[in-house]
Amino acid sequence: MEPKKFIRSLRIIHWCFLTALLVLTIYVYKDRTGFRVGTPGIKDDYLFLVPLAALFGYFGSQLRYRNEMRHISSGESLQQKLRKYQKATLLKYILIEVPGFLALYAFYKTDTALYFVIAICLVAYLFVQGPKKSRLINEVPFSLEEKKLFDTLQS
């Protein structure tokens, strides 16, 4: 796979994840009649589940990504490195997206603003995690020849 095609395909995948979450966010926001501000009731099943899932998604995505990146060695072929990087990136996106869906579902069921805010934060975090050429070059142990392939690309 060419570096340009690889980065383009990662961007497309990222935008698909982000678009799915954004579309659901807009739908849930438009469908609800309002926000309940304040502390959710004690009987609210999502009171602990949603924040814990969001924290797990945030920190878990970082830890899992770093763990997957450790398995990329400089002696592997460019294809193997890119495949492992893509796997790590997809896992990171999934671990962010799932708590986002859960937060939106909880907001849809309860109208509690806390869950909507958590979902918006996860959408913003997913947006920031988009693929960048500089991130790829800095985080994958490329050889000098492989780095030159990516350096010639426009961001």
Q: 41-81: per-residue pLDDT in tens?
A: 556 788 889 999 999 999 999 999 999 999 999 899 989 99
- CB-CB contact of 105 with 25 (8 Å): no
- Helix (H) / strand (E) element for 135: namely helix 133-139
Q: 82-129: per-residue pLDDT in tens?
A: 999 999 999 999 999 999 999 999 999 888 889 999 999 999 999 999
Closest CA to 138 of 72, 76, 60, 57: 72
pTM (two decimals): 0.88
